[in-house]
Chain A
Amino acid sequence: MSDSEDAHVGNMEGHGNGLPLGYNDANRAFLQALLSRGSVTFSEGQSILSAILSTTNPDRDPIPSDKITRDIFSKYVHTAHEALLPFDYDIRSTLHQRTRERVWAIINVESDPATQLATVHTPEEILYVNRLLDQMFDTHNTPRMEIMAVDENQALKVARPSRSRGEDGAEEVQTQGGDKGLRASDVLTLLENLVAEGWLEKSRARFYSLSPRSLLELRNWLVETYNDDQAEEGAWQPIKFCDFCKEIVTVGQRCDERDCVTRLHNICQEAYWEGREEKKCPKCETVWSGKQYVGERAVTGTEAYARGHRKSSGRSRRQRDEAEEDEDGEE
């Protein structure tokens, strides 16, 4: 490693030795910081860079977080992205569908046996995650109800592989091989760990959904796996994209016409309508009420849900109220 390039930190004029120009220890530390976190927000990036640059600037002057501008942050992200590409890693960003906060995540462009080995989860747990994703994007994502999230009971239902599923059920049993599934307690532990690892999010109504980081990592996979690439234009597909930002919608609004596939993020709709004369779906021209939901609100927003939970489930009144509060907060 050449030390000469390390002389001036933050100085982007480097010796082009195969790395992005000016690549130095500050960039390496930033990369390690990203690797250790998996994903960062701008404010996390500010505190990371403030810590890095405070130690690497020539006079060792402390640099407060608020002095780290978007430009500085973007420069480091971009450099990290360039440095990672040859290794089939990438840094991509997306807005959090609820909080609108932008999240940058390191993603694996290509998954191979070498990295597969690295998981800290057992093969049974990985097969379970496959079933959980099927629950989210298949079972609980229909033209009528696009929930794309599961509650605990639904997550527990697929603790073990089912014996007969789909039309080609017979074949299915074989693909499961020796998979004995997980015990209920293991599922609960795994779910919490996946939340702590940043792959899942758990809402106050206790629905599990994919985090922005998972969506970034799985974007293409979800489309390939769940969508039918032979389908006609305009046909309903499990994975749909926001008409405004073109990112996957797992939380948002849908067209009031059930057969229409226009979707919008809650966080995008304001800007979307601003540029339009009428609040009408651009495809089918139905008036857009903004009251048809994608995500857990497709369930929790219904009267049936409220009734059902009053009657049968173990969910307490208090929890339901929390859920509703949460949704109010989303808007």
Chain B
Amino acid sequence: MNGKRRQSGRQSPASDSEDGSDNERPQLSDSTRTNHRLASKLVRYALACEYSRLPIRREGIKENVFGGEKVARFSPIFDLAQTQLRTVFGMEMVELPTKDRAHLTLDQKRKAAKSQTAKSQNRTGATTRSNAYILVSVLPPELRGPKIIAPSKVQSSEGEASYAGFYTTLIAIITLSGGELSEAMFRKFLSRLNADQTIPSMNPSNQNQPSEQTEIVLQRLIRQGYLIKGTAAGEEGDEAITWHVGPRGKVEVDNEAIAGVVRAVFGDATEGLENKLQTSLGVRPREEVAGGAPGHGRARHVQPKEESDDDSGRQQNGNEDEVDEDEEDQPAPRRRRVNTAGQHSPMTIRTREDGDPGSSRRNLFG
């Protein structure tokens, strides 16, 4: 395939960057070839990170993609990978916003200050970069519907769907409360969602673990960057806990997604609701969002029926239902998370030739 593509004679500057890793075209310099190979590896790394909701970090790229290799310049490889992601996969890496320092605990602030000086970053604030990225879909919204992009089978697609529904709702609540919730209010909302003790696990049909402790799930949400458990400026030196939307949450659950939650909760959109949404979130009224695509509308009606059958997480409570339905009902304009395959599962690792010898290999070939 490469051979065919190589001979197809393109002139556009982008064309080179889309070629595969093992390009033997003679006029390509060694460094160009190296860049292509590393860019493809970076693409794999990016897909892998997204699968486990880890941010793609510069340090991670250096360690896992470049390995011991000396790389003259980082950005050409990164840009090449970005182009490959866009053209082949319809995805791109989006830089996460930096954490808002106001929400950090004193300890975290101290750490942040230290690492910032260490990196000698621009400390004026606005232009400080996080150097961490997540993968989002750049396909048109109508191509991101659940009929096309299934909730990825990270542990089970039902679990993934209810998990996404849970954090989407929490982020919507926090955002519409002005971006910050006190611990007390946050807990109150959790109990209204009937999620103050447990929520459905990542695989709700697993009899051995149908649900998970809310605390554990919240820790995961914090770790994955959906939520931030921070502190408000304490009046008497004591720090009150507050909840904020984390960097991944801001990118993945954008205002359009939040509007989707509100529409699902309030039922059919009225003009008044759409006006309020526009004021609060700056989203366009729904008609325009849907783009009037007949096919898309159809897909939306079919979907809930398909997924609701096996969604045992539902029995948890009524409100969770709303979340799930919303997730299935209209994620097309809102859901940005890219679902990557489970090819990075433990099975894959069995194919490794280096590192862990694996017990059986030892047994047979001693």
CB 8 Å contact bits of B323-340 with A (1 = contact, 0 = none): 000000000000000111
Question: Is B350 close to A, CB under 8 A?
Answer: yes
The answer on a CB contact under 8 Å between A47 and B18 is no
Question: Is B198 close to A, CB under 8 A?
Answer: no
Question: Is B142 close to A, CB under 8 A?
Answer: yes
The answer on a CB contact under 8 Å between B360 and A87 is no
CB 8 Å contact bits of A108-146 with B (1 = contact, 0 = none): 101111111111110001110111011001100000000
Q: How far is the CA of A197 from the CA of B159 in the complex (A)?
A: 11
Q: How far is the CA of A189 from the CA of B88 in the complex (A)?
A: 36
Interface residues of A in 164-189 (CB under 8 A from B): 165-168, 171-172, 175-176, 185, 188-189
With A36-B340, A106-B341: A47-B20 Cβ-Cβ less than 8 Å: no
The answer on a CB contact under 8 Å between B90 and A47 is no
Measured between beta carbons, the chain B residues less than 8 angstroms from A243 are none
Measured between beta carbons, the chain A residues less than 8 angstroms from B58 are none
Interface residues of A in 139-162 (CB under 8 A from B): 161
The answer on a CB contact under 8 Å between B339 and A32 is yes
Choose from B16, B89, B205, B347 the contact partner of A196 (Cβ within 8 Å).
Answer: B205
Choose from B10, B44, B345 the contact partner of A16 (Cβ within 8 Å).
Answer: B10
The answer on a CB contact under 8 Å between A119 and B349 is yes
The answer on a CB contact under 8 Å between B338 and A120 is no
The answer on a CB contact under 8 Å between B142 and A111 is no
Q: How far is the CA of A129 from the CA of B351 in the complex (A)?
A: 13
Q: How far is the CA of A29 from the CA of B350 in the complex (A)?
A: 29
Measured between beta carbons, the chain A residues less than 8 angstroms from B356 are 127
Measured between beta carbons, the chain A residues less than 8 angstroms from B113 are none
The answer on a CB contact under 8 Å between B40 and A88 is yes
CB 8 Å contact bits of A59-90 with B (1 = contact, 0 = none): 01111000000000000000000111111110
Nearest CB in chain B: distance from A300 CB, A: 23
The answer on a CB contact under 8 Å between B89 and A168 is no
The answer on a CB contact under 8 Å between A111 and B345 is no
Pick out which of these stretches binds chain A: B45-53, B188-196, B239-247: B45-53
Measured between beta carbons, the chain A residues less than 8 angstroms from B279 are none
Question: Is A192 close to B, CB under 8 A?
Answer: yes
With A32-B89, A130-B358, A172-B359: A16-B295 Cβ-Cβ less than 8 Å: no
The answer on a CB contact under 8 Å between A120 and B52 is yes
Q: How far is the CA of A47 from the CA of B341 in the complex (A)?
A: 19
Choose from B143, B150, B293, B344 the contact partner of A108 (Cβ within 8 Å).
Answer: B344
Nearest CB in chain B: distance from A310 CB, A: 26
Question: Is B64 close to A, CB under 8 A?
Answer: yes
Nearest CB in chain A: distance from B81 CB, A: 10
Interface size counted on chain B using CB atoms at 8 A? 98
Choose from B65, B148, B366 the contact partner of A48 (Cβ within 8 Å).
Answer: B148
The answer on a CB contact under 8 Å between A192 and B208 is yes
The answer on a CB contact under 8 Å between A131 and B154 is no
Question: Is A271 close to B, CB under 8 A?
Answer: no
With A33-B149, A196-B155, A197-B155: A189-B209 Cβ-Cβ less than 8 Å: yes
Pick out which of these stretches binds chain B: A94-102, A214-222, A274-282: A214-222
Interface residues of B in 148-186 (CB under 8 A from A): 148-157, 159
**16 other contacts beyond A17-B10, A35-B340, with CB at 8 A cut-off?**
A2-B87, A16-B8, A18-B10, A31-B89, A31-B90, A52-B143, A55-B299, A85-B20, A87-B21, A114-B65, A118-B51, A134-B363, A196-B205, A196-B206, A218-B351, A221-B351
Most buried by A among B40, B45, B159, B345: B345
Measured between beta carbons, the chain A residues less than 8 angstroms from B364 are 225-226, 228
Question: Is A304 close to B, CB under 8 A?
Answer: no
Measured between beta carbons, the chain A residues less than 8 angstroms from B143 are 25-26, 28-29, 52, 55-56
Question: Is A1 close to B, CB under 8 A?
Answer: yes
Measured between beta carbons, the chain A residues less than 8 angstroms from B154 are 120, 197
Q: Can you name the residue of chain A whose Cβ is closest to the Cβ of B296?
A: A55
With A130-B350, A134-B359: A32-B338 Cβ-Cβ less than 8 Å: yes
Give the interface size bracket for A toward B.
Answer: 35 or more
Question: Is A19 close to B, CB under 8 A?
Answer: yes
Measured between beta carbons, the chain A residues less than 8 angstroms from B67 are 113
With A32-B139, A175-B357: A121-B346 Cβ-Cβ less than 8 Å: yes
Measured between beta carbons, the chain A residues less than 8 angstroms from B83 are 1
The answer on a CB contact under 8 Å between B48 and A114 is yes
With A36-B150, A62-B295, A192-B208: A111-B351 Cβ-Cβ less than 8 Å: yes
Measured between beta carbons, the chain B residues less than 8 angstroms from A88 are 21, 40, 44
CB 8 Å contact bits of B112-148 with A (1 = contact, 0 = none): 0000000000000000000000000111101111011
Question: Is A245 close to B, CB under 8 A?
Answer: no
The answer on a CB contact under 8 Å between B44 and A114 is yes
Nearest CB in chain A: distance from B115 CB, A: 22
Most buried by B among A87, A108, A133, A192: A87
The answer on a CB contact under 8 Å between B299 and A196 is no
Q: Can you name the residue of chain B whose Cβ is closest to the Cβ of A1?
A: B86
Question: Is B251 close to A, CB under 8 A?
Answer: no
The answer on a CB contact under 8 Å between B147 and A197 is no
Nearest CB in chain B: distance from A214 CB, A: 5
Nearest CB in chain A: distance from B356 CB, A: 8
Measured between beta carbons, the chain B residues less than 8 angstroms from A15 are 10
Question: Is B284 close to A, CB under 8 A?
Answer: no
Q: How far is the CA of A189 from the CA of B159 in the complex (A)?
A: 14
Question: Is A93 close to B, CB under 8 A?
Answer: no
Question: Is A269 close to B, CB under 8 A?
Answer: no
Choose from A35, A55, A138, A193 the contact partner of B206 (Cβ within 8 Å).
Answer: A193
The 6 nearest A-B residue pairs measured at CB: A86-B20, A118-B48, A28-B90, A54-B295, A36-B339, A18-B18
Measured between beta carbons, the chain A residues less than 8 angstroms from B84 are 86-87
The answer on a CB contact under 8 Å between A214 and B294 is no
Choose from B87, B139, B151, B359 the contact partner of A175 (Cβ within 8 Å).
Answer: B359
